[in-house]
């Protein structure tokens, strides 16, 4: 069963940033040891040399039933999702050369981001960081430990934050990465996303660390893992996080809204997203709520005959200072539709069944990339 950090271990908010790798290691050892049952024995050795191999630490666990295992700890000051697989492979080679019996590799760092922790679990290894994020899974002897620490590095130094996709520049870069087939250079990405070089390179560095894009050294972007990228972006972006969001009633019902939109003389001041737009690509269920981005909310409401309401809304309008939601929109049957990538992220962050609709839409996107990527 999962454990929480035992009492007696200071919370990461109560300690200074560990400066030395040995300090990071000892905090990790302490976190793991406190979660081991009292009836088990625990023996630790630091800086263990076996032949030409030096391991940061070994911890031998002996259970009452006579079974045992050895945890092999490897400390990295910084470990990203991009580097995780390589680091695990190197540690496994070191363990093999050192001839460690019944080994479980444990990767340790000052802080491990959610994407890095996910990658390590996929690799079948444990992890621990100084904030309390912890995962150890053994079959024999049976032990399962999981604890949640910080989801953002609490000790990151001053400067512009990199651990986020918040803001218009990040949104523009993500949309361009998803919407265009690689390869292309970072300057080409800047042109397509209309962001500064500083913003483009900051976002790219973060996404490379998250293993969401791949780029040759000083060369072009060669791969974009677009579906996980959209899911990661949805953690920092959402339709309802727009600058202005208001609820309205369209008296004739959502099912007649497409006809009303197609009859408008001008369709450059709005873009349809969400469930109603997704029906064009991956029908899921009859939409109950229409979602649109608009450039002039009062004018649009007047033209469409929308009434502001607190309850019973069937239309939501959002307005942003940036027009990324309009990027690469297209007119379909007289209605201005958002790009599939925009529709998907808006559904991922929407209420009710919308996240399930997002998955259905992204399934269609995976099967029909040539139909929507450029």
Q: Do the domain assignments include residue 159?
A: no
Last residue in a domain, options 178, 211, 233? 233
- What is each CA distance from 173 to 87, 167, 190, 235, in whole angstroms? 29, 10, 8, 16
Q: How far is CA 155 from the centre of its chain?
A: 20
| 76, 97: one domain | yes
Residues 6+ apart with CB under 8 A from 159: none
Residues 6+ apart with CB under 8 A from 167: none
| 185, 202: one domain | yes
Q: Percent of the chain scored above 90 by pLDDT?
A: 74
For residue range 235-286, what is the model confidence (pLDDT) as tens digits?
Answer: 899 999 988 999 999 999 999 999 999 999 888 899 999 999 999 999 999 9
| 17, 128: one domain | yes
Q: Do the domain assignments include residue 26?
A: yes
For residue range 299-329, what is the model confidence (pLDDT) as tens digits?
Answer: 999 999 999 998 999 999 999 888 899 999 9
- CATH code at position 223: 1.10.10.10
Burial class (CB in 10 A: 0-12, 13-18, 19+), 344: buried
- Residue 5 reports pLDDT greater than 50: no
| 129, 221: one domain | no
Cis amide leading into 183 (omega within 30): yes
CB 138 within 8 A of CB 118: no
Q: Do the domain assignments include residue 315?
A: yes
Q: Do the domain assignments include residue 158?
A: no
In the numeric block, the tokens 């293993």 are attached to 211
Task: Determine the straight-line distance between the first and last CA of the chain, rounded to whole angstroms.
Answer: 47
What's the number of CA atoms in the CB half-sphere (13 Å) around residue 356? 6
Number of domains in the chain: 3
The predicted pLDDT at position 8 comes to 57
Report the run of H or E that residue 318 belongs to, with start and end.
strand 315-319
Q: Do the domain assignments include residue 42?
A: yes
Range of the domain at 129: 12-147
Tokens of 39: 């009836």
| DSSP classification of residue 184 | B
| 205, 247: one domain | no
| 35, 135: one domain | yes
| 143, 18: one domain | yes
| 250, 361: one domain | yes
How many H helices and E strands in the chain? 13, 16
- CATH code at position 121: 3.40.1350
CB 249 within 8 A of CB 314: yes
- Residue 359 reports pLDDT greater than 80: yes
**Rounded (10°) CA dihedral 166, 24, 136, 59:** 170
Can you tell me the distance from the alpha carbon of 2 to that of 140, in angstroms, rounded to the nearest whole number? 17
Of 105, 87, 85, the closest CA to residue 96 belongs to: 105
| 29, 58: one domain | yes
- CATH code at position 255: 3.30.460
| 189, 285: one domain | no
The predicted pLDDT at position 2 comes to 39
For residue range 109-154, what is the model confidence (pLDDT) as tens digits?
Answer: 999 989 899 999 999 999 999 999 999 999 989 999 999 998 888 8
Last residue in a domain, options 233, 267, 282? 233
| 248, 209: one domain | no
Q: Do the domain assignments include residue 263?
A: yes
Q: Do the domain assignments include residue 70?
A: yes
Last residue in a domain, options 179, 214, 233? 233
CB 127 within 8 A of CB 110: no
| 16, 136: one domain | yes
CB 48 within 8 A of CB 70: no
Q: Do the domain assignments include residue 338?
A: yes
């Amino acid at each position: 069963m999962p454990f929480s950090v035992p009492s007696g271990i200071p919370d990461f908010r109560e300690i200074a940033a560990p400066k030395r790798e040995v300090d990071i290691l000892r905090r990790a050892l302490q976190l793991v040891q406190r979660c081991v049952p009292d009836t088990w024995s625990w023996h630790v050795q630091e800086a263990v040399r076996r032949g030409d191999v030096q391991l940061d630490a070994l911890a031998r666990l002996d259970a009452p039933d006579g079974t045992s295992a050895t945890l092999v700890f490897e400390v990295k000051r910084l470990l990203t999702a991009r580097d995780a697989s390589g680091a695990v492979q190197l540690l496994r080679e070191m363990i093999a050369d050192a001839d460690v019996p019944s080994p479980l590799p444990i990767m340790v760092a000052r802080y491990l981001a959610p994407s890095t922790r996910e990658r390590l679990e996929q690799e079948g290894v444990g992890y621990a960081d100084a904030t309390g994020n912890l995962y150890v899974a053994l079959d024999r002897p049976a032990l399962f430990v999981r604890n949640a620490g910080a989801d953002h590095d609490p000790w990151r130094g001053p400067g512009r934050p990199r651990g986020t996709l918040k803001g218009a520049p990040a949104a523009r870069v993500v949309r361009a990465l998803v919407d265009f087939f690689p390869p292309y250079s970072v300057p080409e990405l800047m042109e397509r996303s209309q962001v500064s070089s500083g913003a483009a390179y900051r976002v790219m560095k973060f996404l490379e660390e998250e293993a969401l894009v791949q780029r040759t050294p000083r060369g072009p972007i060669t791969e974009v893992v677009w579906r996980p990228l959209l899911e990661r972006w949805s953690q920092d972006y959402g339709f309802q996080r727009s600058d202005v969001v208001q609820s309205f009633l369209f008296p004739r019902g959502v099912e007649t809204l497409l006809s009303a939109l197609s009859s408008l003389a001008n369709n450059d001041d709005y873009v349809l997203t969400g469930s109603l737009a997704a029906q064009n690509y991956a029908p899921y269920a009859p939409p109950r709520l229409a979602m649109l981005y608009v450039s002039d909310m009062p004018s649009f409401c007047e033209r469409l005959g929308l009434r502001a309401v607190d309850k019973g809304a069937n239309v939501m309008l959002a307005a942003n200072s940036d027009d990324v939601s309009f990027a690469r929109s297209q007119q379909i049957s007289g209605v201005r539709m958002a790009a599939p990538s925009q529709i998907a992220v808006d559904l991922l962050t929407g209420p009710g069944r919308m996240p399930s609709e997002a998955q259905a839409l992204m399934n269609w996107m995976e099967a029909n990339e040539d139909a929507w990527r450029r």
